[in-house]
Structure 1
Amino acid sequence: MIIYLVRHGETIFNARRILQFPDTPLSERGVEQAMRVARRLAAAGIVRILSSDHLRAQATAQAIRKAIGESSPEPSPDTLSGGQGSQADPSAPSQSLRLEIDPILRERDFGSYRGVAYDDLDEDIFAPDHIPPGGESVAAFEARIAQAWERVIADALAIEAEGGDGDGESGPSPALAVVSHGLVCDLLVRNHLRLAPGIDPAGIQWRNTCVTEIERDIEDRWQVTRLACTAHLEGMDLAPLSSLGHV
């Protein structure tokens, strides 16, 4: 069982280092990144996708869902014929693939700072005791992401119970994809996960559409086996990334 933790594709606000709104769309480069990570994960055995409700995450999740559908050898008859309760989309995945949107996975709420460039901030909005006006404190954010992780674990265990472990011959074991945000990914790794031997978090960069793979170790503990991988972005012209450029 693998959980694929994916950061959303780039937005113009990412590239310009501006704190984002929930409805910020992907940039042209972000769309290409989403397509690339989607192709990477198309044959990974993903049977369920959880996504933040922010537009940039949903767009990335939809790209992954579409790629999985295109890799399926036989779309369902209802999907192809546009039967009752379905849309005639030949690229849509079978009904066994679920995409669920959950606000608990959204990025930290920076309140009235949304739309403000990092360079124009007069204070450290990431300080532990700082509460953005109309936004979310560090404590509230951490509590929410702790609940989000419980949701992710529950879904992963349900997938295991429904689909078994796989035999390695008929394809990969059923997997779960989680599409979220830079601060969410960082908090999950730092507060809720172990690191497999050889995984070094020093200097980690949560680039857009980076993929983190999470599996259980021999003691049944969830651990990171691949951290913030961007191999699928090789050859792309990427925007500079600062220590604050992951929101």
Structure 2
Amino acid sequence: MSAHPLASPSTVAAHRGLNRLLEIASGLQLAPQTERFYFLRHGQTECNARRIFQSYEEPLNATGIAQAEAAGKALAREPIATIVCSDVARTHHTASIVAAHHVLTPNGAQGLRERHFGELIGSSSADLDWDCRPAQGETLDLFVERTRDALEQALLQPGPVLVVAHGGTLYVLAALLSVPVTPTLLGNAHPLRFDRIDTGWQATALAAALQGGPVNLS
């Protein structure tokens, strides 16, 4: 496995922040009691397209709905038994579109929410430093620990489990499992399958990402 599983950031601050995320994750453990599970980031929002820190109420835009529908068709071929999603608007909407193909009801989980960026909401996220300490927001340490605990609970559900969450969630998941994540895999509504292998875990894209602009992880 790669010693540095996260995507290569474009700025010094981003490098520092992701290195700090890896450091935090290295002190934690996530050991899913399953051989396979699935992950899906929510579809695109207008704030994603504009690279703006967004609130939990931000909805999917038209592109995001189309992305979720395409992901739903790709995941319809998979034996998904449970869908657990972040309970914010954009993820629950995405999960509901996918769930219709399986006659399932998504289980909302507050712990799977994206990191809360406090007073940064509404400002540019183009040069996101994950190690920032936004006023009235969530520190990186708290976010990683909260996300790890929520992922553990989600993956204890009857499987195979599909987790529908956020770009930040995927970063934490990759760090915890030492799985390389490329910018392509981080795209909105890009369905991924995680499989246990001899050396740990690997992520496989189940369909080509439906592009909707630059990757924005908030």
Q: TM-score normalised to the size of structure 1?
A: 0.68
Tell me which structure has the larger Cα radius of gyration. Answer: 1
Deviation (angstroms), 1:125: 5.3
| 2:60 match | 26
The whole-number CA distance in structure 2 between the counterparts of 1:232 and 1:175 is 22
The whole-number CA distance in structure 1 between the counterparts of 2:75 and 2:128 is 34
Contact kept? 1:212, 1:224, Cα under 8 Å: no
Deviation (angstroms), 1:213: 1.4
| 2:189 match | 209
The whole-number CA distance in structure 2 between the counterparts of 1:230 and 1:239 is 20
Indicate the structure whose relative CO is greater, using CA pairs within 8 Å and at least 6 residues apart.
Answer: 2
Contact kept? 1:47, 1:98, Cα under 8 Å: no
Deviation (angstroms), 1:154: 1.7
The whole-number CA distance in structure 2 between the counterparts of 1:237 and 1:150 is 30
**Alignment pair present for 1:193 and 2:138:** no
Letter in 1 for 2:143: F
RMSD between aligned alpha carbons? 2.2
**Alignment pair present for 1:110 and 2:110:** no
The whole-number CA distance in structure 1 between the counterparts of 2:207 and 2:190 is 8
Deviation (angstroms), 1:45: 1.1
Find 1:181's aligned residue among 153, 158, 166: 166
How many positions carry a matched residue from both structures? 184
The 5 A counterparts of 1:1-247 are 1-68=35-102, 93=103, 97-118=104-125, 126-128=129-131, 130-155=132-157, 159=158, 174-190=159-175, 192-195=176-179, 200-201=180-181, 205-218=185-198, 223-226=201-204, 229=205, 231-233=207-209, 236=210, 238-241=212-215, 245-247=216-218
| 1:166 match | none
Letter in 1 for 2:99: R
Q: TM-score normalised to the size of structure 2?
A: 0.76
Letter in 2 for 1:238: G
The whole-number CA distance in structure 2 between the counterparts of 1:152 and 1:217 is 21
Deviation (angstroms), 1:143: 1.0
| 1:83 match | none
Q: CA, structure 1 residues 98+108, in 2 after alignment: closer, same or farther (shift >3 Å)?
A: same
- Percent identity among equivalent residues? 28
The whole-number CA distance in structure 1 between the counterparts of 2:120 and 2:178 is 33
The whole-number CA distance in structure 1 between the counterparts of 2:181 and 2:116 is 25
